[in-house]
Amino acid sequence: MPISEFALIQRFFTQQAVTSSSTRLGIGDDCALLSLPDGYELAVTTDTMVENVHFFVGTDPEKLGHKLLAVNLSDLASMGAKPLSVTLALTLPKVDEKWLTAFAKGFLGLAERYSVDLIGGDTTSGPLTLTVQAMGLVPKGKALLRSSALPGDFIYLTGSLGEAGLGLKHIRGYHCANPQASYNRFHKPDPQIEAGLALIGIANACIDVSDGLAGDLSHILEQSNVGACLYWDALPLSDAVLAYINDTGDWSMPLTAGDDYELCFTVSPEKADLLTINCTKIGIIEATPGLRLRKSGTVQPFNSKGYEHFS
């Protein structure tokens, strides 16, 4: 006998313990209830992953559960928000208990790591589609926005670039010598929560790099009415990514490939000494609109849009 919708939620998605002090009521009623501490704002974000669009048919469900939550927590990180709770809307073609067990393990495993409560959701049947809404706390008026970069700001990046892009190339048939690291980066991104929290009061603008650095940084530039110059020589690239570039000549991959989930942020020079997190200075914000790249001694416009649906 197939498991009922409510039994499914109970069995796979009802966490043993409520961990966040803001959760007044979790799964089970028509709504969850959150109570917010004074002096904070609620940061809210949603991301959907659709089979065949965001992930391949047959993707390991545990990795999928991790990534679905990670991409949402990454959005909270980019605002400097502390994750609080999430809702999960699942559209499933059928009830596959093995699949659900693995998916819940990946999802709730990461949730536990950041003390995030799963407080509700919806479960329907249809083509495999996974949606999370994530909520986090940010001190009132202190969220890191895309719209507040200033000319003269230094541009920084956490972690390295292009590793997840290389993982995707590997899945699509490109042979790299040691694919495990890039494969993991593609499938199991780490949301940069601690970095985001540490940037409150220091960074002027911030974005998470989900669709490629060039495209995502361009969102900061457009919303802040500024431009930027990136320094090719300063980009943090792993040996594997450098080997890929050497091999293929595809040097722009690290600037355009998605799924890095690092934070790109800007800091005024006076505050640069206050940075405590691991990051690399990769460029500078300028008054002239547009994105430029300094490479081999010349500065050229760099035009690249990130991945866009419907285009």
Give the footprint of Mg ion on this chain (CB under 5 A). 122
Count of residues that interact with ligand ADP, criterion CB under 6 A: 13
Q: Tell me: does residue 28 bind ligand ADP (CB under 6 A).
A: yes
Greatest C-alpha distance within the chain: 68
Can you tell me the distance from the alpha carbon of 292 to that of 287, in angstroms, rounded to the nearest whole number? 12
Q: Tell me: does residue 118 bind ligand ADP (CB under 6 A).
A: yes
Site for ligand ADP, residues 6 to 25, rule: CB under 6 A: 9, 13
What ranges in 172-275 are assigned the alpha helix state H? 180-187, 193-199, 213-224, 239-248, 253-256
DSSP letter, residue 4 = P
Q: Which one of residues 16, 17, 30, 58 is an interface residue with ligand ADP (CB under 6 A)?
A: 30
What is the smallest separation between the CB atom of 121 and ligand ADP, expressed in angstroms? 3
Contact indicator for 91, 127 with CB cutoff of 8 Å: yes
Can you tell me the distance from the alpha carbon of 294 to that of 300, in angstroms, rounded to the nearest whole number? 7
What is the smallest separation between the CB atom of 123 and ligand ADP, expressed in angstroms? 4
Between residues 88 and 195, which has the closer beta carbon with respect to ligand ADP?
A: 88
Q: Which one of residues 20, 22, 23, 27 is an interface residue with ligand ADP (CB under 6 A)?
A: 27
Sign, CA dihedral 171-174-180-184, equals negative
Q: Residue 223's binding partner, choosing from Mg ion, ligand ADP, none, with beta-carbon cut-off 5 to 8 A by kind? A: none
Between residues 125 and 248, which has the closer beta carbon with respect to ligand ADP?
A: 125
Q: What is the residue whose two structure tokens read 């819940």?
A: 104
Between residues 95 and 171, which has the closer beta carbon with respect to Mg ion?
A: 95
Stretch that binds ligand ADP, among 27-35, 174-182, 186-194, 268-276 (CB under 6 A): 27-35
What is the smallest separation between the CB atom of 87 and Mg ion, expressed in angstroms? 11
CB-based burial, 232-249: b 16+ in 10 Å, e otherwise? beebbbbebbeebbeeee
What is the smallest separation between the CB atom of 24 and Mg ion, expressed in angstroms? 20
Can you tell me the distance from the alpha carbon of 250 to that of 102, in angstroms, rounded to the nearest whole number? 36
Contact indicator for 13, 5 with CB cutoff of 8 Å: no
Q: Which one of residues 50, 121, 181, 252 is an interface residue with ligand ADP (CB under 6 A)?
A: 121
What is the smallest separation between the CB atom of 43 and Mg ion, expressed in angstroms? 24
Contact indicator for 226, 151 with CB cutoff of 8 Å: yes
Site for ligand ADP, residues 270 to 309, rule: CB under 6 A: none
Helix (H) or strand (E) holding 130: strand 129-139
Q: What is the residue whose two structure tokens read 């609080």?
A: 84
Q: Tell me: does residue 123 bind ligand ADP (CB under 6 A).
A: yes
Between residues 134 and 209, which has the closer beta carbon with respect to ligand ADP?
A: 134
Going by C-beta distance under 8 Å and a sequence separation of 6 or more, which residues neighbour residue 21?
none
Between residues 119 and 199, which has the closer beta carbon with respect to ligand ADP?
A: 119
Chain residues in the site for ligand ADP (CB under 6 A): 9, 13, 27-30, 88, 90, 118, 120-123
